Structure 1
Amino acid sequence: MASINTAFKALCLSLLLVAVSSSPTTELKIFDVQSYGAKGDGTSDNAKAFTNAWKDACAWKGRSKVYVPKGAFYLGGVTFAGPCNCQTSFVIDGVLLAPTNNDDIKKETWVNFSYINYLTISGSGTIDGQGKESWPLNNCNTNDHCPRLAVSMGFDFVNNSRIEGITSLNSKAGHLNFFFVDNFTIAGVNITAPGDSPNTDGIKIGFSSNINISNTHIGTGDDCIAILSGNTNLFIYNVTCGPGHGISVGSLGKNKDEKNVEGLMVKDTVFTGTSDGIRIKTWESSATEIALSNFVYENIQMIDVQSPINIDQQYCPYPPCKKTGDSHVQIQNVTLNNIWGTSMNKEAPWIRIEWFKPKVTDKIRFSF
């Protein structure tokens, strides 16, 4: 009997060793872009080297890391696509430089991540959109043939992921764009562009859910955070905003395919020198019937903000606007609690609410 037990244990051990040896490795493998020929000289186009490093990291059957060391890495438009075999990280300690000429990017997004689960982007580095040369081209309010400027970094269909620590500088258009993203964390990020840089939204979110933004500074020439159609369960806390146009929901109601926005918490946030603080903007002659509901704004400080609270259902960015009907965007269950500070405009009201018909907006609760 003893010999049988010994043989059985030996068999189990051998099977265990086979199982372990055939399973994906848990050891982290690093894919340094320089080993793929990338040069941190600020002029060589490293798109091919970065793409090849990403492909190998994504295909690795274990934890992998694409690493960008110190240096200035010029990079044309590039897409990092999944799905990947395991958890993948992208660590940026150097500087990524976009082409100064927007036409050289040849994409709507300069650096794009798509169809990935369990992605982490981190590091002490900077994503430099080098947008100054392109900003004068952003004249779509007067030019019907204006170019579509590139967003610096985009995430499409990326889930259970995070971005932390990096700096986004001087985007041509928006800095970070999220589309059909679920369970994503943005923490400790610094987003900056001059206050007069046009349409340089800090974080733009659409058709996404369970987004957490925390411990982040955003100063741009447009919305610090723009919350667009189809979002649910967004949590924003300990964010500083300024310069910029505040944290905005909308604009909404212009297009027929828009969806509801439900569940927004903004707390422990400071607005400094912005045109707006808390902002909701919908088109008066809206093309769709949607609802914006269950918003909570709590513990918010305003420092020299022009319009600290601005709920506008007659949104018209480039007047005059045609007024052909009512707003069908309903705003429901909005709570503002412990909002304080100063306005830079002594004549403007601290709270600005404009709607086409009062009945479309209800249950707005204030506590100061």
Structure 2
Amino acid sequence: MACISYSFKTLCLFLLFVAAASRPTNKPKVFNVRRYGSKPDGKTDNANAFTSVWKSACGRKSGSSKIYVPKGTFYLGGVEFLGPCKNPIEFIIDGTLLAPANPMDIKQDIWINFRYINDLSISGSGILDGQGEQSWPLNDCHKNPNCPKLAMNMGFAFVNNSNIKDITSLNSKIGHLNFYSVHHFNITGVTITAPGDSPNTDGIKMGFCSNIQISKTNIGTGDDCIAILSGTTNLNISNVKCGPGHGISVGSLGKNKDEKDVKDLTVRDVIFNGTSDGIRIKTWESSASKILVSNFVYENIQMIDVGNPINIDQKYCPYPPCEHEQKGESHVQIQNLKLKNIFGTSKNKMAVKLQCSKSFPCKNVELIDVNLKHNGVEGGSSTAVCENINGSASGNMVPQHCLN
């Protein structure tokens, strides 16, 4: 009996060992770009090696994949990472990805582009160096119809349930991070940097997106820190520092016929430092579309020597003369807009500009505790202007409000 009991225990232990050994592990498979032939010498084009890594990681059928870019400088021509993938992808960048200095060497609109992917995570201490200095003098498309196409640093199109964290985007040729038809995406701890005089280097640009979170991010560029375009809904921005740049801009809107509503935007705990604008909504006066801009909340916003702290401009015309003199007022309807605890200093005497459409006046605009003091070379206190707007004001008001 003792022998049988001992044999039974041995068999049970063996079966437990087999079960444990056959149990699938949750650890992702690591794909180090160095093992696929990439060279961190800052000269060799690693586009083919990175594409090969992506195909292997994306095509893995069991378990998640982790692509790792170690420290070093990896020169990278234009590259596109396509899905759908068979598993979640974690892309860790600890090195520097270096773009071609010559813009003609990138044969696509976006230098590093992710498309048709779910469950993508990008993180690391690495840098996306767009080497934009050579491209900025070429950015004259407003007056030169033959201007070259310049590539943005990184783009996401049809990417869902994903995130980017801690990466630095440096000196893009044009915009830094572009989002199109992206849903449920988190942007956290990102740093975006370009000189204040670098043209059209928008920090984060998005259109036809929903459920985007942007937090704990520092943006300093030569254009909008964040540009919110047609069809964007449920956007939450918090703990962002912006400057230099043109502020957080909605628009421009209304120029094209196929544009969609922009709604449900929340901006909280943001600092604008030395920007040309802070809170900005811009629509073309000669609208080609009738769309709605609604349900916006701006709260706890600090302005430090901002040119135009609050600016609703429904007569947007960056390069006059414009067509609106023949086509009439903007058809973009702005409504349900709350601005609460907006404080700091304005470089221009006009600190609050609410210039709405005569055909579609702004509705239900609420100002609560606005304190913006004039700190520019002109003398006198800050002022406000209102055109074609209905709303209310309460609490502390500097400048004196002009709402009906």
In structure 2, give the amino acid aligned to 1:173.
I
Which residue in 2 is equivalent to 1:32? 32
C-alpha contact 1:328 1:360 (8 A) present in aligned 2: no
CA offset at residue 63 of structure 1? 1.3
Which structure 1 residue ranges, 4+ long, deviate > 3 Å from structure 2? none
> What pairs up with 1:93-172 in 2 under 5 angstroms?
93-172=94-173
| 2-structure distance, mates of 1:24, 1:287 | 56
Q: Does residue 1:339 correspond to 2:346, yes or no?
A: no
Which runs of 5 or more residues in structure 1 are unaligned? 1-5
| 1-structure distance, mates of 2:163, 2:142 | 35
SS at the partner of 1:100?
A: coil
CA offset at residue 17 of structure 1? 5.5
The root-mean-square deviation of aligned C-alpha atoms, in Å, is 1.8
CA offset at residue 130 of structure 1? 0.3
C-alpha contact 1:204 1:228 (8 A) present in aligned 2: yes
CA offset at residue 27 of structure 1? 2.1
C-alpha contact 2:111 2:153 (8 A) present in aligned 1: yes
C-alpha contact 1:329 1:360 (8 A) present in aligned 2: no
C-alpha contact 1:194 1:221 (8 A) present in aligned 2: yes
1:140-181 deviations in whole A, cap 9, x for unaligned?
121011112101000001100000011000000100000000
Which residue in 1 is equivalent to 2:391? none
Q: 1:358 to 1:340 in 2, by over 3 A?
A: farther
1:112-143 deviations in whole A, cap 9, x for unaligned?
01111111000001000000000000001210
Which runs of 5 or more residues in structure 2 are unaligned? 1-7, 370-404
CA offset at residue 40 of structure 1? 0.4
Which residue in 2 is equivalent to 1:54? 54
In structure 1, give the amino acid aligned to 2:208.
F
CA offset at residue 355 of structure 1? 2.6
| 1-structure distance, mates of 2:132, 2:334 | 36
| 1-structure distance, mates of 2:286, 2:342 | 31
CA offset at residue 210 of structure 1? 0.2
| 1-structure distance, mates of 2:182, 2:145 | 31
Q: Does residue 1:298 correspond to 2:299, yes or no?
A: yes
SS at the partner of 2:26?
A: strand
| 1-structure distance, mates of 2:364, 2:90 | 44
CA offset at residue 33 of structure 1? 0.4
| 2-structure distance, mates of 1:360, 1:100 | 47
In structure 2, give the amino acid aligned to 1:325.
G
> What pairs up with 1:251-262 in 2 under 5 angstroms?
251-262=252-263
SS at the partner of 1:350?
A: strand
Which residue in 2 is equivalent to 1:63? 64
Identity %: 65
CA offset at residue 24 of structure 1? 6.7
C-alpha contact 2:190 2:216 (8 A) present in aligned 1: yes
Which residue in 1 is equivalent to 2:210? 209
Q: Does residue 1:366 correspond to 2:364, yes or no?
A: no
Which residue in 2 is equivalent to 1:3? none
C-alpha contact 2:332 2:360 (8 A) present in aligned 1: no
1:31-68 deviations in whole A, cap 9, x for unaligned?
00000000000000000110101111111221111110
> What pairs up with 1:259-298 in 2 under 5 angstroms?
259-298=260-299
Under a length normalisation based on structure 2, what TM-score does the superposition of the two structures give? Answer: 0.85
C-alpha contact 2:279 2:310 (8 A) present in aligned 1: yes
Which residue in 1 is equivalent to 2:332? 329
In structure 1, give the amino acid aligned to 2:38.
A
SS at the partner of 1:132?
A: helix
CA offset at residue 359 of structure 1? 4.3
C-alpha contact 2:109 2:149 (8 A) present in aligned 1: yes
In structure 2, give the amino acid aligned to 1:29.
K
1:70-108 deviations in whole A, cap 9, x for unaligned?
100000000011111111111000000000111111000
Which residue in 1 is equivalent to 2:227? 226
SS at the partner of 1:27?
A: coil
| 2-structure distance, mates of 1:155, 1:101 | 23
| 2-structure distance, mates of 1:293, 1:148 | 33
Which residue in 2 is equivalent to 1:86? 87
SS at the partner of 2:173?
A: coil
| 2-structure distance, mates of 1:125, 1:26 | 26
| 2-structure distance, mates of 1:193, 1:241 | 12
In structure 2, give the amino acid aligned to 1:50.
F
| 2-structure distance, mates of 1:339, 1:304 | 13
C-alpha contact 1:214 1:238 (8 A) present in aligned 2: yes
SS at the partner of 2:137?
A: helix
C-alpha contact 1:76 1:110 (8 A) present in aligned 2: yes
Instruction: Tell which structure's C-alpha radius of gyration is larger.
Output: 2
Which residue in 2 is equivalent to 1:240? 241
1:196-243 deviations in whole A, cap 9, x for unaligned?
000000000100100000000000000000000001100000000000
| 2-structure distance, mates of 1:140, 1:74 | 28
In structure 2, give the amino acid aligned to 1:73.
F
C-alpha contact 1:218 1:241 (8 A) present in aligned 2: yes
1:234-259 deviations in whole A, cap 9, x for unaligned?
00000000000000000000000000
